[in-house]
Amino acid sequence: MTKERRLTIRFVAVFLIAYMGYTIPYTLLIPFMTEAGYTPTQRGLILAGMSLVGIFGQFLFGFLCDRYRTVKKFYVATMVALVVFCWLAYMTTANQFFYHFMTIAFTGGLFQIVVGLLDAWTLETDPYLVLHYGKIRAFGALGWAIGSPMTAWIVSTMGYDKLGLANLIFTLLTLGISWNLRDAVKVHTNEGIKWKDVGQLVRRKEYIVLVAILFFLNVVQAADMYTVIDKILELGGSNADVSLKWSFQAITELPLFFLGAWLLVKFGGKRLLLFATTMYFVRFIGYAWANSPFLLIAFSGFQMLTYPLINVASKVLIAEESPDQLRSTGLLFATSMSFSLSQLISPVFFGFLVEQFGSTITLTGIALGCLIPFALGLWYLTMKPLKKEILTKA
C-alpha cells in the first residue's frame, strides 16, 4: 500500500469519527430551542449570533493558519472550545434567552470553524487528498448518518444535558486518531502573510463571483435546515422525524461523494454547480407541495444531487481561484462569506416569512430564488481559473 493511500485511510477515519461527533451539538438545535420555548424570531436571533461567530471566526482562523503555517494546531484548539460551549449550551432547557444566545452562538459558530479547518487540513496536506477528497468526505456523511439517530437516542433516553458528555467522548476519539497525522503543507514567503495580502482574493472577480454563487446556494441550504424542519414540526413531526431527515440525507450523499473525482474530471466543477442549482429548484418545489413529514423527508433525498456536488466542486474551485500562499484564507473566507453569512441572514429572514406567509409559500419563493445562483453560474462558466486545473486524472 502506498503512503498516499495510507494517508487517505487515516483521514477517512478522522472524518468518520469527527462527523459522528459533529452531529451532537448541531442536529437538534432547532428542536432544543423549540422545547425551551423560544419563538421563531428568538431562534433566528440566536442563530444569527451563531453565524456571526462563524463569519469572523473562519476568516480569522483561515488567516492565522496561513500566517503561522499550521492548520492542525488551530483545529485541535477549536475542537476543545467546541466541547466546552456544547456542554454549557445543553445544560438547561430553561428559557434563558441571553444565556443561550451566547452559548449556542459559540457552539454553532465553532462547529462551522472546525468543519472548515478539517477541510483545509485535508486539502493542504497532500495533492492526492485533493483528488480523493470526495471519497474522504463521504465517510463524513456516513458519520453524520450514524450520529444523527444516535443524538436523538441520547436525548430521548438521557436528556439534552448529556449531549455535552457525548460530544467530549467523540472529540477525544477524534483527537486520538488524528494526533500523529502530519500538518498541512504551507507555502513559505520571505515576508510572511499580512492582512493586506487578503486583498489578492477580494480583488479577483472570478473568486468573488464563485463566493456569491456559493452564498446563494447556502441560503437555499439554510432553508432546508430551518424552514423545512419548521414544516416537519408544523405537520406533527417529532425529533425522530428530524433526525431521520438528517440521516437519510447523509446516506443519499454517499454515492456522489465517492464519484466526486470522476465527475469533476468529466464535467468540471462549474457545470456541477449549475446542475446542483437546478436540482435545488426541483427539491424545494417538492418541499412546498409536500403535506406530510414522510414526503418532506422523501424530498430531502434530493440531497444526493445537490450538496455533495456543491461541496466537492466548490473546494476544488476555491483552491483554483486562491493564491498558493493563501489557500487556508481562501477556503475559510469563502466558507465564512457563503455558509456563515447565509446562516446569519436566513434564520431571521425565513422566520419572518414563515410567520407572515406560512412555510409552503416561503418554500416556493426559495425555489424561485434558485434562478439567481443559476444566472451567476452561467456567467462564471465563461471565466478562466487563476491557474491550471488541479484535477487531471481520476
Give 9's contacts (C-beta < 8 A, 6+ positions apart). none
The whole-angstrom separation of Cα 370 and Cα 283 is 11
Highest mean pLDDT of the ranges 39-48, 121-130, 379-388: 121-130
The whole-angstrom separation of Cα 105 and Cα 244 is 25
Higher pLDDT pick, 374 / 351: 374
Amino acid at 193: I
CATH of the domain at 299: 1.20.1250.20
Whether the per-residue pLDDT at 44 is higher than 80: the answer is no
The whole-angstrom separation of Cα 261 and Cα 184 is 21
For residues 173-187, give the mean pLDDT.
89
The residue behind cell 477528497 is 133
**Domain count along the chain:** 1
The whole-angstrom separation of Cα 137 and Cα 81 is 23
Higher pLDDT pick, 121 / 257: 121
- Give the pLDDT confidence score for residue 393 in this predicted structure: 43
Band of pLDDT at residue 150, cut at 50, 70 and 90: very high
- Give the pLDDT confidence score for residue 391 in this predicted structure: 47
Mean pLDDT of the chain: 87
191 part of a folded domain: no
Amino acid at 373: P
pLDDT in tens, 94-142: 889 999 999 999 999 999 999 999 999 998 898 888 878 888 988 998 8
Band of pLDDT at residue 66, cut at 50, 70 and 90: confident
- Give the pLDDT confidence score for residue 390 in this predicted structure: 46
For residues 60-67, give the mean pLDDT.
88
- Give the pLDDT confidence score for residue 392 in this predicted structure: 44
389 part of a folded domain: no
3-class SS string, the chain: CCHHHHHHHHHHHHHHHHHHHHHHHHCCHHHHHHHCCCCHHHHHHHHHHHHHHHHHHHHHHHHHHHHHCCCHHHHHHHHHHHHHHHHHHCCCCCCCHHHHHHHHHHHHHHHHHHHHHHHHHHHHHCHHHHHCHHHHHHHHHHHHHHHHHHHHHHHHHHCHHHHHHHHHHHHHHHHHHHCCCCCCCCCCCCCCCCHHHHHHHHCCHHHHHHHHHHHHHHHHHHHHHCHHHHHHHHCCCCHHHHHHHHHHHHHHHHHHHHCHHHHHHHHCHHHHHHHHHHHHHHHHHHHHHCCCHHHHHHHHHHHHHCHHHHHHHHHHHHHHHCCHHHHHHHHHHHHHHHHHHHHHHHHHHHHHHHHHHCHHHHHHHHHHHCHHHHHHHHHHCCCCCCCCCCCCCC
Whether the per-residue pLDDT at 9 is higher than 60: the answer is yes
Give, in order, the Cα–Cα distances in Å from 280 to each of 37, 140, 310, 374: 32, 22, 11, 10
Higher pLDDT pick, 175 / 48: 175
| Residues 241, 290 contacting (CB under 8 angstroms) | no
Whether the per-residue pLDDT at 372 is higher than 50: the answer is yes
The whole-angstrom separation of Cα 179 and Cα 176 is 5
Higher pLDDT pick, 348 / 4: 4
392 part of a folded domain: no
- Give the pLDDT confidence score for residue 394 in this predicted structure: 41
Residue 147 lies in domain: 3-185+196-380
Give, in order, the Cα–Cα distances in Å from 343 to each of 35, 52, 222: 21, 9, 6
386 part of a folded domain: no
The whole-angstrom separation of Cα 174 and Cα 18 is 6
288 part of a folded domain: yes
Whether the per-residue pLDDT at 63 is higher than 70: the answer is yes
Higher pLDDT pick, 167 / 2: 167
